[in-house]
Amino acid sequence: MTERFSPKIIPIIDRRNAAAPTAPSRIFPEGLLLDTRNRALRDLRISVTDRCNFRCSYCMPKEVFDNHYSYLPHTDLLTFEEITRIARQFVAHGVQKIRLTGGEPLLRKNIERLVEQLAGLRTVEGKPLDLTLTTNGSLLARKASALKAAGLQRVTVSLDAMNDAVFRAMNDVDFPVSEVLAGIEAAHAAGLGPIKVNMVVKRSVNEHEILPMVRHFKGSGIVLRLIEYMDVGASNGWRMADVLPSAEVIARIQTEHPLVALAAASPGETAQRWGFADASGVHDAQAGEIGVISSVTQAFCGDCNRARLSTEGQLYLCLFANFGHDLRSLVRGPASDADLASAIGHIWHGRTDRYSELRASQKADSGNHNNHKRRVEMSYIGG
């Protein structure tokens, strides 16, 4: 297949390195699939589009993703039926949670139909999946009710500032914060919850918005999660100097809102949970909680249970991966469901990924933690 080059960026996928899975022996799905480090496959994140209507500098900067950027042709995208077929095999292997991502997933036409198909799947225990979606919120007000009716359970909304001028500058398309807040309200009214709000914190850009964001969502029932600016892909010009460590974020919040550490809600959870404390130092459940995702300063590879499926059917085993495994060739070829399930089994069984641990080790050993291998763009497989 011909590579798709942008004149300003490396290709988001290099099929010379894309491994077409071959199964030397049959692996049957038994509800528990372990990798080389005994990490169980539990979470599948599915990108449904490589397009977005925002141009956030940390993800899809305008100088790269401009009017001349070449997006995937529609025929390259997995159909909803192909996505559901692949997801069914992941569920048979023990996946309990599916998150729809992008790009911006609500740009995918008739996304409600995919939600309805995935909502019909059942875990190996016969329970409904934890089915959720991450969105920038721009289309959420008009889509929330239909998504809920189709079977979506909850949403995560990306929002990087309460100040309108700061937010418009960060999304770089002059989109107002009020419309994202309206989308969050619509999601709440539709029953899509619990709602989470993700804030990517970039030093000297929006760090002054941390406390206003905390004030706004405290006591609302919405969980604010503050994410370290990540070194994903090659388009965002990442520098360690732009990272505000989660420890500093927590310290800043503590100056105004006392916090108490909370236990993880589930195995493999990426966010460290902190509850707002009352006067006696006990978690005040009415005030709620926040989370911090220390994607740079604290590796959480040890219990990572997530796989990522790109919009054109490439399976990635790490957010920082530099190649994918081609599942589209199987679903569009003669492979049976058993063949597909076995291929997924072999791919996960061979998984060794621990990028964040290696980055931390390289930093400690040499002071240079940058991995110069080109990696998949976050906008291509979702965060």
User: What pairing do the DSSP bridges indicate for beta strands 272-276 and 289-293?
Assistant: antiparallel
Q: How confident is the model at residue 230 (pLDDT cuts 50, 70, 90)?
A: confident
Q: How confident is the model at residue 360 (pLDDT cuts 50, 70, 90)?
A: low
Quick count: other Cβ atoms within 10 Å of Cβ 189?
Answer: 12
Contact 101, 134 (CB under 8 A): yes
Is the pLDDT confidence value at 166 over 90?
A: yes
Amino acid, res. 104:
E
Interhelix angle 337-349/80-92, rounded to 10 degrees, is 60
Cβ-based neighbours of 251, under 8 Å, separated by 6 or more: none
Contact 158, 198 (CB under 8 A): yes
Contact 376, 12 (CB under 8 A): yes
Locate 374 and state its tokens.
């080109």
Amino acid, res. 21:
P
Residue spans per domain, the chain: 43-381
* Topology, domain 43-381: TIM Barrel (3.20.20)
Contact 31, 124 (CB under 8 A): yes
What confidence tens digit (pLDDT) does each residue in 281-327 have? Answer: 999 999 999 999 988 877 668 788 999 999 999 999 988 778 899 99
Contact 340, 194 (CB under 8 A): no
Quick count: other Cβ atoms within 10 Å of Cβ 4?
Answer: 15
Facing residues of 227 across strands? 200, 293
What confidence tens digit (pLDDT) does each residue in 319-355 have? Answer: 877 889 999 999 999 999 999 999 999 999 999 977 6
Average model confidence (pLDDT) for the chain? 88
How many angstroms from the chain centroid is the CA of residue 363?
25
What is the pLDDT at residue 269? 78
Interhelix angle 140-150/177-190, rounded to 10 degrees, is 20
